[in-house]
Amino acid sequence: MASDYYRVPDWETRLRTVTHAFGLVVGAIVLGLVGASFAVQLLALFGVRIESVETAAPLPYAVLNAAQFVGYYAAGLLYLNWQGFPDLFRVGLPSLRDLAWVVGGFVALYLLATGLAVVFEALGIESATNSVVEQGRQDPVRFLYLIPVTFLFVAPGEELVFRGVIQGIFREAYGVVPAVVFASAIFGFGHWLALLGSSTGKVRYVVVTAVLGLVLATLYELTENLIVPILVHACWNSVSFLSQYADVTGMVWLAGIGH
């Protein structure tokens, strides 16, 4: 029914849902910083001292990134426990149909990203750079270490928070379509603090990320399996890392994949 897609609750529920969504993002970021700080102390116990993220060797750098996204796991699971939402989202072994959606979703991301890049370039608007990419280009081996990290920590952590929990609570309060739109917009803005560059470039990056988030959100609603957007997200990041690695190291045959 139409009400399932455009459910509008009372103002109290609207406000609570929005407040919880933004609070969850802030909590995930804070817990991520705590996790990274803990990882620094843990590495020091093993004789690995990190003066700064920029100068960290590839393996410790990957550990720091993984620890940061453990914070996303923690924030999502703590929220679910607090609110008593054990069945807010679904996770299961992907079927052949799900895997087909993974392939289709990846292709959709590529086509959308390419199209948006053409539009923004025509408008003369350059994109900001994610700090992870900038740090990786200083030591390209980092990109290779980040591939398993994105499959095990980054993509699952972000999808748990943005698609599983935030999209879930918006769906319960507003319906499917608003949930997809709002969760994707928050997903885009959630990357703002990690960006380097002009404000205009950051806006472009956020818009593109939000649009790509729409694909991930739609995939989840179509498949009802959080593993699907996790796999698409992880594959997308990994291809981008491979492309960046190839670009820096001169492996021309790979360099154009993620651009």
For residue 1, what pLDDT is reported?
Answer: 38
Quick one: pLDDT at residue 7?
Answer: 58
Query: With a cut of 70, which residues of the chain have pLDDT below it?
Result: 1-9, 252-259
Percent of the chain with pLDDT over 70: 93
Q: What angle do CA 51, 148, 184 make, to 5 degrees?
A: 95
Beta-bridge partner residues of 130 = 195
Q: How many CB atoms lie within 10 A of CB 159?
A: 29
Paired tokens of 216 = 């991930």
Q: What is the pLDDT of residue 13?
A: 79
241 closest CA partner among 220, 257, 228 = 257
For residue 8, what pLDDT is reported?
A: 58
Closest by CA position to 203, among listed 258, 126, 112: 126
On the 0-12 / 13-18 / 19+ scale of CB atoms within 10 A, 223 is buried
Tell me what pLDDT residue 214 has: 97
User: Would you state the structure tokens that stand for residue 15, as one six-digit string?
Assistant: 């406000």
The pLDDT value recorded for residue 152 is: 97
Contact 132, 32 (CB under 8 A): no
Task: Indicate the SS3 state at residue 224.
Answer: coil
- 201-210 long-range contacts (CB < 8 A, ≥24 apart) are 201/125, 201/126, 201/127, 201/128, 201/129, 202/128, 204/120, 204/125, 204/126, 204/127, 204/128, 205/127, 205/128, 205/130, 207/116, 208/113, 208/116, 208/117, 208/120, 208/127, 210/184, 210/185
Q: Are 145 and 59 in contact (CB under 8 A)?
A: yes
pLDDT value for 5:
52
